Amino acid sequence: MFRCPSCGKGRFKDEVAVACHMNQPRSGCNTWLHDIIWLDSVRTESMDVDDEELGGFTGSVNEEGISPTRDFIDWFPGASRTYGTGHTFLDIFNSDENSVHCATSLYYPFSGRKDWELASWQLHSGLSMGKIDSFLSLEIIQGLPLSFSSAKELRGRAEMLPSGPRWMSQVIETKHPTKSPVILYWRDPLDCISSLLNHPSFHDQLDFTPRKVYTTAQRLCCVYSEWMTGDNTWTMQSALPRGATLLGTILSSDKTNISMMMGDRVVHPLLISLANIPMSTRLKTSLNSFVLTALLPMPKFLHKKKCMHGVLEDRLVHQCLDLVLEPLKRAAHEGIMLSDPVGSTTLAQIATAHSKVDSNDIEAFFREAQKFHLNGVDKPFWQDWLFAEPSHFLTPENLHHLHREFYDHDVKWIICAVGETEIDFRFSALRPVMGFRHFHGGISKLKQVTGRAQRDIQCSIIVVSADAVPSAVMTAVRALTDFRYLVQSPRIDDRDIEHISTVLAKFHANKHAITAAGFHRGKGNKPIDNWYIPKIELMQNIAPSIRNTGITMQWSADATEHAHITGIKDPTRSSNNNNYDSQICRHLDCVDKCRHFDLATSLLDLRLQTNLDQHHVDDDIIDFDVDDDDDLPANLLSTVKSPGYACPITNYFAMAKVLQHREVGTIPLPLRTFVVGRTAFHLAYSLSIRAISIDDAALKFGLPDLRSAFADFLCREDTHGYGHIHPLGGARRAGSNASLPFNELQIWFKLQLQDTEFHDTTNVRPAQTLNCVPPSDIWTFGRYETVIVNNEDGHSWPADGLHGHVIAQIRLIFCPIRKMDTQGAWKDHFLTYVQHFNNSTEREPATHLHLLKRVKRSNGTRIDDVIPVTQLRAPVNVVPQFGASADPHLTQYNGMEHASEFWLNKYWDKNTFYPLLMYFDL
């Protein structure tokens, strides 16, 4: 009988049963998982993972300006000085008139933490006041010691919470009559920026110093990423007084439809953020880094000429923006003293980093204004803003420009070339991939397509249509696809910009083939023989924009589109459909108060608990000074969970690190979470098949060569020793009746692989599942994934691309159950049985895709091998070659077995695209 090394329980029949017992959360034996549970509750960004384990470097720099990523950095001298102390987040929180009560009751005006938790839940629930009253009238609720007994009283207590930037309203006079009064609701943008600057979530995250980043010490190749690496920031900082801090505002002004709730009505919000917040932080929707600053009025003008209505609306937008942003313009000229998260005060001067304005056609606006002599306020809002250059801050934006161009044009060209029925069938025959939408009905009839759906179509459109589109047309479409992927890189240098310009020129050199074939069509399906497409014209400005303001990814509208939902549509749903602007402001004011109150009380509660742990004193003798932040740990503010955080990514790199330092005998062995290079592996402790004979496994999975393949593996192990890279292929030496030092296998149907971002090894990506499932009712041939396999010693993925690697399909994941008294390094390691494809470097000229063929022996059987799981590197997407006309027998379930030739889809994932691009295109 076996005994659990953690809790001491016995009566387990074998080690497998012990492992399953230790992995069950309800068994009471989970002490060894304590560290893992803790890691899983913390955001991935805060994980402390060794650089050596990730196979890369962090982004810090030494005194000579050389980063461990081998970049060479020139910092702008004398930028961003501090002048004494200012106000921290808690200082502002404690300046409220009710803060005197917090000395005795931290959660005032609520009675305590539990009282506040229930109140917060109700305030965020979206329940009407009537439903809240109904809930509070329940007998079981009335028995609770709550500080409120009605919805009105609850809202009254919420109003007493410390306030953030306050909402104001103002009537706007117009020269032309409107159907209703024009009311502008807005907040001081300086207050909004101050709330971002001293917010604890951005502690130690703000970037204030312009810099030039180079790849070599000779400073010949410049690197662009964040806004502070662009040429504009260096130029702006040069024009500022020495020691002044440059703040870059991000403005987003775009209409959003609320017609589902309000008929044909729209709302025009103005959102503001800071380019000084790193994009990896700023674009996380859960961090609320975009603050709603104004609700621009959208009145109906009564001008007799309908063509003037749009002009008057655009003019009003700029008039309101000019009024709202006046404090920022003044700060740009004169400077203003602001405080950062740690309370240091700096002289800030505010510039425009990026602006997305709904009325983009400024030339048409001026033309119409001059025609009808509307000489009142005929200037755009940025006219008197220091350093405001429209050609720089009106930057390209991926969601509305690149992805929308793809769906509006590229997809239509391909559908026209392939045919609606054919393209729909090909998409329906694609294998479902985790995290990607499967288009069962095809794509030609889609009405509303989200940005994520556009991404999923873009990932497969080239491989799906590769054989059915004329070569020159495919070359043009492929060039545009390469262009979109290249400009979305989080790190772009001068060589990358040359490559971006080259692929865009390739499109323009081949675009005539699209019009010549009649694939470029407009309304009524009529051919168009010109290229007057603004979104394509805008692509010419992307390379200069990258040099001026940094990469385009940082200006993504994903975060602002999400803010439209949480900041506009959700509050509108809870309104009574009257005066919705004012109700939105009231709702958001309550949400901001609750969010800040929850964060502040969490910080103060944590500090109180820290003091208790350190000093071991009673509550009634604590000298608790809420105005002093000096005793807070440096990393405290970055680890406190704010409301709204998404579920953290399971970090198998960190888990493997924890398990390696556990004492022998306290955890099940062999470890099923481990790291090799930049890949983390995780196998479940619950086995898919606890024990099966090798012959039965070969029959169940359809692997007649399994026994001999394992015998050859053991032979190589004996010859070269443990840790040897097993090359795939070669003659089979062992016979089908080879003797093996084991009789049974443990089998898993799934394996989790996790890697890091290609450009940033400190950023852990979500784990991906490799399925290895035997035939079933739906998957009649089984479900087996394709993966990159390390095939030669001395090569690493992704640094070397496919050099020293092959593409293979995993067919079995197993661990032998050794016989008593048998020896061999293989007995404590996980193995996989794979069938690989050829590794030719030749590509199809038009698509630049790599054609894969199954490697077979002379008798027609597939070549397969047993290798350690540790040779796997990353999953890849392989798509059957459909030919000019797809085989009607193909389905999503049989494609990998039915087809004999495949495309390696480099567009499936950006982490795959970039290393394959290095291997194939450069």
Could you read off the pLDDT of 34-82 as tens digits, one per residue?
A: 333 333 333 333 334 343 333 333 334 444 444 445 789 999 998 888 8
The pLDDT-based confidence of 637 (bands split at 50, 70, 90) is very low
Q: What percent of the chain has pLDDT over 90?
A: 44
- Residue 128, C-beta contacts closer than 8 angstroms, at least 6 positions apart: 574
CA distance 410 to 478: 10
Both 751 and 861 in one domain: the answer is: yes
Q: Examine the pLDDT at 21 and tell me if it is beyond 90.
A: no
pLDDT of residue 609: 64
Residue 806 falls inside a structural domain:
yes
Residue 726 falls inside a structural domain:
yes
Please report where in the chains the tokens 């990353």 appear, as a residue.
Answer: 874
Both 144 and 176 in one domain: the answer is: no
pLDDT of residue 583: 84
pLDDT of residue 47: 37
- Residue 175, C-beta contacts closer than 8 angstroms, at least 6 positions apart: 374, 376
Pairing of strands 344-357, 245-253: parallel
Q: How many CB atoms are located within 10 Å of the residue 629 CB? A: 19
Residue 64 falls inside a structural domain:
no
Which of 509, 543, 577 is the last residue before a domain boundary? Answer: 543
pLDDT of residue 790: 95
Residue 75 falls inside a structural domain:
no
Average pLDDT over residues 135-155: 91
Both 614 and 703 in one domain: the answer is: no
With residue 850 as reference, give the H or E element that holds it: strand 850-853
pLDDT of residue 204: 80
Q: Is the peptide bond before 670 cis (omega within 30 degrees of 0)?
A: yes
Q: Quick one: three-class SS letters along 257-295? A: ECHHHHCCCEEEEEEEEECCCCHHHHCCHHHCCCEEEEE
CB 397 within 8 A of CB 404: no
pLDDT of residue 768: 92
Domain that holds residue 276: 167-397+556-592
Both 850 and 703 in one domain: the answer is: yes
Number of residues written out for the chain: 922
Residue 433 falls inside a structural domain:
yes
CA distance 696 to 480: 50
540 or 18, which is more confident? Answer: 540
pLDDT of residue 627: 34
Residue 654 falls inside a structural domain:
no
Both 151 and 277 in one domain: the answer is: no
pLDDT of residue 823: 63
CB 419 within 8 A of CB 259: no
Residue 9 falls inside a structural domain:
no
Average pLDDT over residues 331-347: 85
Summary mean pLDDT of the chain? 82
CB 27 within 8 A of CB 21: yes
Bridge partners (DSSP) listed for residue 880: 902
Phi, psi of 633 (to 5 degrees): -60, 150
pLDDT of residue 697: 95
Structure-token pair, residue 3: 């005994």
pLDDT of residue 238: 94
Both 368 and 430 in one domain: the answer is: no
Lowest mean pLDDT among 323-337, 391-405, 528-542: 391-405
- For 84, counting Cβ atoms within 10 Å of its Cβ (0-12 exposed, 13-18 middle, 19+ buried), the class is exposed
Both 179 and 112 in one domain: the answer is: no
Q: Examine the pLDDT at 632 and tell me if it is beyond 70.
A: no
Both 159 and 254 in one domain: the answer is: no
Lowest mean pLDDT among 123-137, 603-617, 686-700: 603-617
Q: Which long-range contacts (CB under 8 A, 24 or more apart) does 278-281 make?
A: 278/205, 278/207, 278/226, 279/226, 279/490, 279/553, 279/554, 280/45, 280/760, 280/763, 281/201, 281/202, 281/205
Please count the structural domains in the chain.
4
Average pLDDT over residues 445-464: 86
Lowest mean pLDDT among 303-312, 419-428, 617-626, 839-848: 617-626
Both 391 and 346 in one domain: the answer is: yes
Both 561 and 599 in one domain: the answer is: no
The pLDDT-based confidence of 235 (bands split at 50, 70, 90) is very high
Average pLDDT over residues 800-821: 88
CA distance 50 to 646: 25
Average pLDDT over residues 240-262: 83
CA distance 252 to 557: 8
CA distance 392 to 162: 39
Which of 618, 633, 653 is the last residue before a domain boundary? Answer: 618
pLDDT of residue 590: 87
Give SS3 for 426. Answer: helix
Average pLDDT over residues 172-177: 87
Average pLDDT over residues 682-709: 93
Which of 861, 876, 891 is the last residue before a domain boundary? Answer: 876
pLDDT of residue 647: 55
pTM: 0.83
pLDDT of residue 385: 92
Both 565 and 445 in one domain: the answer is: no
- Residue 620, C-beta contacts closer than 8 angstroms, at least 6 positions apart: none
621 or 687, which is more confident? Answer: 687
Average pLDDT over residues 874-889: 92
Q: Examine the pLDDT at 723 and tell me if it is beyond 50.
A: yes
Bridge partners (DSSP) listed for residue 878: 904
CA distance 442 to 423: 7
Q: Examine the pLDDT at 441 and tell me if it is beyond 80.
A: yes
Both 261 and 369 in one domain: the answer is: yes
The pLDDT-based confidence of 98 (bands split at 50, 70, 90) is confident
Residue 893 falls inside a structural domain:
no
